[in-house]
Amino acid sequence: MTTSEVTVPAAKVKRRRAMGAGRQLHAGPVTYVVLTVFALASLAPLVWTAIAASRTAHRLDQTPPPLWFGGNLFKNLQSAWDQAGLGTAMFNSLIVAGTITVSTVLFSTLAGFAFAKLRFRFSGLLLLLTIGTMMIPPQLAVVPLYLWMSDLGWSNQLQTVILPSLVTAFGTFFMRQYLVQALPSELIEAARVDGASSLRVVWHVVFPAARPAMAVLGLLTFVFAWNDFLWPIIALNQQNPTVQVALNSLGTGYVPDQAVIMAGALLGTLPLLIAFLLFGKQIVGGIMQGAIKG
């Protein structure tokens, strides 16, 4: 056997494996029909939110429900914006989610790099601890956090929401898994030979190698932080809300105008939907690659 005879089929097998099992089978019409049903189920509630937001509360009470757009969209958006204070809320959410994202990505990359490539005492144990704590529900921390933040006089202030979410065990583990494979140890050693300090190694070798995973972790963290509900609703009042807290106040108003509520729901989701349109592919890839987190 010559080498070429061996390598060609091997490459073929490899390519087929990369394509994945079953993927050589083309989808039949039934598959497309079923997928379309799933897709409609995914999108219909969102589309209908926009339809309902363009109507009046009176029309929404009638049967049959509206199936197409009316002319009230901008009026309702304006009312929702004013009633729920969505301007403040969006700004607050942007600060909260932005800070949490930057901090989580930065510290996860540093810790993930240490766990992936550096040898130090207790590293195995510490990594195990990190993974184990991914299962702790947030409910277990809220009472003490609430009491401490009250003691500090930080009730209703944004740092109350930001501080407990600055790092995540998931992020650390996610970066570690990525860097184990994506960062060649030779690259670090080469930098070491040149006498580079750890900070230089991080800046010039680790960050460039980690950039794709950092982007994905950033997107996932931003979605999570923007949508977080339990702690913000305990920590913040309606005077200084995040978007989710503001939406909650819309829903529990005593004169609920359903069309305005739908307009609020639409506005509150819009920033993420736009982000999704732009980065949906990366988010999908990130979830499939990380394949974790609830």
Partner 1 sequence: MTSPDEALAHSASSADAAPGTPPGAARGAHGRGAPAGADSWRSRLYRWDMKASPYVFVAPFFVLFGAFTLVPLLYTAWYSLHNVQLSALDHQTWAGLDNYQHLLSSDFFWNALENTFTIGLISTVPQLMAAVWLAHLLNYRLRGSTVWRVVMLTPYATSVAAATLVFTLLYSWDGGMVNWVLHFFGAGPVNWRESDWGSQFAVSSIVIWRWTGYNALIYLAAMQAIPTDLYESAAIDGANRWQQFRHVTIPQLRPTILFTVVVSTIGATQLFGEPLLFGGVSGSKGGSEHQYQTLGLYMYDQGWIIGNLGKASAIAWSMFLILLLVAAVNLLLTRRLRKSQ
**Would you say 266 and 56 are in contact if contact means Cβ atoms under 8 Å apart?**
no
Q: How far is the CB of 55 from partner 1 (least distance, A)?
A: 11
Interface residue with partner 1, options 10, 43, 128, 152 (CB under 8 A): 43
Chain centre distance of CA 50 = 23
Residues in the chain: 294
Report how far residue 207's alpha carbon sits from residue 224's, in angstroms, rounded to the nearest whole number: 23
Q: Which of these, 183, 169, 207, lies nearest to 292 by C-alpha position?
A: 169
Interface residue with partner 1, options 5, 9, 25, 68 (CB under 8 A): 25
- Restricted to residues 207-266, the positions that interact with partner 1 (CB under 8 A) are 223, 226-227, 229-230, 233-234, 243-244, 247-248, 250-252, 254, 256, 258, 261-262, 264-266
Report how far residue 133's alpha carbon sits from residue 75's, in angstroms, rounded to the nearest whole number: 47
Chain centre distance of CA 192 = 35
- Restricted to residues 55-74, the positions that interact with partner 1 (CB under 8 A) are 60-65
Interface residue with partner 1, options 87, 124, 138, 184 (CB under 8 A): 138
Report how far residue 123's alpha carbon sits from residue 115's, in angstroms, rounded to the nearest whole number: 7
Interface residue with partner 1, options 1, 21, 125, 255 (CB under 8 A): 21
- Restricted to residues 145-204, the positions that interact with partner 1 (CB under 8 A) are 145-147, 150-151, 163-167, 169, 172, 189-190, 192-199, 202
DSSP conformation class of 167: -
Q: How far is the CB of 133 from partner 1 (least distance, A)?
A: 7
Nearer to partner 1, 139 or 239 (CB): 139
